[in-house]
Structure 1
């Protein structure tokens, strides 16, 4: 009878340990506790190019001078034909599928809410799970995302792309 009591006590202790250790691990840690989101912590940008949280990035990842005092999102000349620019502070992607045709979409991936990270080869790319979207209409082109990026109406005023 003593052996079954010891076995129960051992199983009970193991179950408690199995639940308690992950909870303690979640509460502890050596960092500040903030989640490291790859969409907001770019690994490929050198520290000297990250100008500010309101920086706009071109398709190549280079900061541009988006969002002037006139309320523009980005200079029209900074949006490459067949590519786009991510306007991080507005959480938008401004694209130019064809010369003179500007489109804008939400920069929040419809799969799990990550901020998209780049525009290349006619696609808006999400770094979290590999979803990609068309620069023409925001429709999903690959990865797990099933819904398109929401389109935002834009217009060109002077030399800037602005919200319509």
Structure 2
């Protein structure tokens, strides 16, 4: 046997271990930011059980009473957030943040928030209220009929 094969394996240095752990933590954080369907706000929901096929052929999202005035609700499976800026006025926007195409996931205090980098958008028109996003959310088509809200 050669003397090389009898050498003990080199010990891991502290810097190597910390770098590996840091990379794993970063990967976990990026995965959580990019694909999270969890909501940090009580006023939004991402439950797929909220949606079904409506009688008009669109996807039924919610009852009008499910959308809080001045707030909204996120429907992750349908990639749409529905808001009620003022009583009886309903708006809808894509959940795709224009900054880096991450998904907004909460609506609180009149703002729709992207968890990836903190961009915030108005519930009234989807306009940027806080960057880094430089453009607003894309409007989505919904239909309000009686007390039912469906994707158009």
Q: Give the TM-score normalised by the residue count of structure 2.
A: 0.69
SS of residue in 1 equivalent to 2:77: helix
The answer to whether structure 1 residue 68 and structure 2 residue 68 are counterparts is no
Give the deviation of 1:105 after TM superposition. 0.2
- CA separation of 1:41 and 1:117: change in aligned 2, threshold 3 A: same
Q: Give the TM-score normalised by the residue count of structure 1.
A: 0.65
What RMSD, in angstroms, separates the aligned Cα atoms of the two structures?
Answer: 3.0
Give the deviation of 1:149 after TM superposition. 0.4
Give the counterpart of 1:40 among 17, 31, 35: 35
Ranges in structure 1 where 5+ consecutive residues have no aligned partner = 1-24, 46-56
Q: Highest relative contact order (Cα 8 Å, sep 6+), 1 or 2?
A: 2
Ranges in structure 2 where 5+ consecutive residues have no aligned partner = 1-19
What does 1:102-121 correspond to in 2, within 5 Å?
102-121=90-109
What does 1:1-164 correspond to in 2, within 5 Å?
36-41=31-36, 59-60=43-44, 63=47, 65-70=49-54, 71-164=59-152
Deviations 1:5-58 (A, max 9, x none): xxxxxxxxxxxxxxxxxxxx8xxx8xxx9x61325335777xxxxxxxxxxx86
Q: How many residues align?
A: 125
